[in-house]
Amino acid sequence: MFRGVVVIRPVTEDDLDELAPLLRGYCEFYGTDPSDEALLELSRWLLDHPEDGVQVLARDDDGSAIGFTTIYWTWRTMHASRIAVLEDLFVAPEARGSGAAEALIRDALARAREHGARQLDWQTAKTNERAQTVYGRMGADPDDRWLDYSLPTSSDDTP
């Protein structure tokens, strides 16, 4: 049974076995299916390249991994400053509603400040109303000025 978040800290090589099911759960939630090897390759990249970003793991008072975030460091030309992008935020189903998501967001915000970022940006699916409620409680407002676009880089998928 979940009792509360006790530790939030950057992922290490020793955490990858416990991080993997959370990564898989995140991908399943959003209907994607990258290979486990590709997910772990991403995590190892961040371990070896902290200038690109960080993954953070939340553990409960029993030491079980219950959630994670992935934060990337970048620049925003419109502000002529660094920003942090909260690319991923996931809390295991059994820990949802416990405050773990809020704790992970507060941690991401603190890391963004420490890294010299002007702001912390993130997005969620329009249908993820539970997350939107959490974000609103944290004082974040959706930015409806922008639309997201993407193009595949593979020639097989390029229009």
* Digit-coded pLDDT (tens) for 104-133: 999 999 999 999 999 999 998 888 888 888
Cα distance between residue 147 and residue 141, in whole Å = 15
Cα distance between residue 14 and residue 63, in whole Å = 13
Q: Quote the Cα angle for 40-43-44, to 5°.
A: 85
Write the pLDDT tens digit of every residue in 77-89: 999 999 999 999 9
Cα distance between residue 156 and residue 159, in whole Å = 9
Write the pLDDT tens digit of every residue in 94-112: 999 889 999 999 999 999 9
Supply the mean pLDDT for the chain.
91
At 31, is the pLDDT very low, low, confident or very high (cuts 50, 70, 90)? very high
What is the CB neighbour count within 10 angstroms for residue 54?
A: 20
Q: Give the pairing of strands 65-76 and 81-91.
A: antiparallel
Tell me what pLDDT residue 132 has: 87
Nearest CA to 15 out of 78, 81, 59, 61 is that of 59
Tell me what pLDDT residue 46 has: 98
